Amino acid sequence: MGRLRVLPGAGEPALDPRSGTAPVRRARIDTGAIEHNVRVLREIAGTPEFLAVVKADGYGHGAATAARAALAGGATWLGTADPDEALALRRAGVVAPILAWILHTDADFGEIAAAGIDLGVSSEVQVERVAATAPGAAVQIKLDTGLSRNGVEAPAWGRVFETAAALEHEGAIRVRGLFSHLANTSAAEDALAEERFADAVRLARGAGLDPALLHLSSTAAAVSRPQAAYTMVRCGIGIYGVSPFGDAARVPAGLRPAMTLATEVAAVRRIAPGTGVSYDHVWRADVATTLALVPLGYADGVPRAASGRAEVLLGGVRRPVRGRIAMDQFLVDVGDDEVRVGDEVVLFGDPATGAPSADEWGAWADTIGYEIVTRIGPRVEREPT
């Protein structure tokens, strides 16, 4: 049983997995890589402002850790999905400008505004709610230019801009920015979204708004569509060194993976030909071989869908995963090589070390590298380096 501890910002005790008796499960976070990646991306983008996205606990890397590293690398803004994530950064002592863009429409935004957090509003109702509950708050209006997610729909742009301009004139809000997001579907689709955004900017200015921050590009556009840069880019996955294109072969040049997921061999056993391995015996040994037990599983974010396809780095060699990945463990085949309990196993990290990348694990699980790093669970200790 682990020690009880209270997590920062939480009201209930949680089990601390670091009791010294549990298997070692660690995600080493290379803060120097995050700093480096921000510098690389900022130089590519060339914009006056650079927003580092640290939502979802910094894409699994630790939000405060990622935020501090990004700021050290030259980020001028931070972005979170919701205001609670932004408030957690404030409690952690992060004082940089923050934008949060998924809001509860009926909320009281006073505490958020008092903490100096910009609110990304997606409807006229949200604009009015911010003005009513947080007079003088800074807002940035999100526009739907083709994703059909949150953001003001095009037919409502004119009305929302007029409402926002009137409220700004009264001192009820301050409109600091306009922003949207590209779908990355195709060059033609992105070009159309860029045209829509440019139309929205003209319409907003015609209504009397003059927002200083205009941002459309995430990492993918920041490195491939310079015409969409405007005054700020929002880079998320790229600052962690993972491909924004969902392709291990298309990591932008110069970026380094920031997370290394590692553990230690928990058991070793020799098996005879014909022996079934793990649930359902979807794999049986053709010849006598040695299996090493890896104490990580889908409860820790290791995708079950990668069963029988993934590889790990063990003893300087990539080893294949055999059989089903279970909730807490899986097996790898080391053949006739000597492996001992306690030897390090790297699931993913920097390919320059010989390890698989998060993007490769994404391909093995029919998903993307984003999901691989973000889903790493709480039993895995984050170790900033």
- Do residues 77 and 164 share a domain? yes
Per-chain mean pLDDT for the chain: 94
Q: What is the pLDDT, as a whole number, of residue 22?
A: 86
- CATH assignment of the domain containing 265: 2.40.37.10
| CA separation for the pair 240, 232 (Å, rounded) | 19
Domain-located, residue 14: no
Number of domains in the chain: 2
Look at the alpha carbons of 84, 87, 89, 92 in this order and tell me if their dihedral is positive or negative.
negative
- Do residues 70 and 173 share a domain? yes
Last residue of one domain, picked from the residues 195, 219, 250: 250
Residue-level length of the chain:
385
Strands 283-284 and 289-294: unpaired
- Do residues 222 and 172 share a domain? yes
Q: How far apart are the first and last CA of the chain?
A: 27
- Do residues 44 and 114 share a domain? yes
- Do residues 296 and 245 share a domain? no
- Do residues 227 and 177 share a domain? yes
Annotated binding site for substrate: 149, 327
Domain-located, residue 6: no
Annotated binding site: 149, 327
Q: What is the domain range of residue 50?
A: 31-250
Where would I find the H helices in the chain?
Answer: 31-45, 55-59, 63-72, 83-91, 110-114, 124-133, 157-170, 187-206, 219-224, 358-364, 369-374
| CA separation for the pair 197, 281 (Å, rounded) | 54
pLDDT greater than 90 at residue 160: yes
Domain-located, residue 67: yes
| CA separation for the pair 338, 345 (Å, rounded) | 14
pLDDT greater than 90 at residue 283: yes
Domain-located, residue 103: yes
Domain-located, residue 78: yes
Domain-located, residue 220: yes
Domain-located, residue 5: no
| CA separation for the pair 82, 122 (Å, rounded) | 13
Phi-psi group of 199: left, alpha or beta (phi > 0 → left; psi -120 to 50 → alpha; rest → beta): alpha
Residue-wise pLDDT for 284-310, tens only, equals: 999 999 999 999 999 999 999 999 999
Q: Is 279 designated active site?
A: yes
């921050």: which residue's tokens?
213
pLDDT greater than 70 at residue 273: yes
- Residues of the chain with pLDDT > 90: what percent? 88
55, 142, 230, 370: which is the annotated catalytic residue?
55
Residue 47 makes CB contacts below 8 A (sequence gap 6+) with: 229, 230, 231, 232, 233
Judging by beta carbons within 10 Å of its beta carbon (0-12, 13-18, 19+), is residue 100 exposed, middle or buried? Answer: buried
Q: Is 240 designated active site?
A: no
Domain-located, residue 190: yes
Predicted confidence band at 18 (pLDDT cuts at 50, 70, 90)?
A: low
Residue 166 makes CB contacts below 8 A (sequence gap 6+) with: none
pLDDT greater than 80 at residue 211: yes
- Do residues 227 and 112 share a domain? yes
- Do residues 149 and 188 share a domain? yes
- Residues of the chain with pLDDT > 70: what percent? 95
Last residue of one domain, picked from the residues 218, 250, 282: 250
What is the average per-residue pLDDT within 365-376? 97
- CATH assignment of the domain containing 46: 3.20.20.10
| CA separation for the pair 304, 310 (Å, rounded) | 10
- Do residues 52 and 187 share a domain? yes
Closest C-alpha among 102, 138, 93 to residue 118: 138
- Do residues 181 and 329 share a domain? no
Residue-wise pLDDT for 19-68, tens only, equals: 678 899 999 999 999 999 999 999 999 999 999 999 999 999 999 999 99
Last residue of one domain, picked from the residues 250, 267, 288: 250
59, 142, 230, 279: which is the annotated catalytic residue?
279
Instruction: Give the H/E segment covering residue 265.
Output: none
Four-CA torsion 55, 59, 65, 71, nearest 10 degrees: -60
- Do residues 192 and 313 share a domain? no
- Do residues 147 and 177 share a domain? yes
- Using alpha carbons, list the distances in angstroms from residue 324 to 262, 307, 309, 320: 19, 5, 10, 12
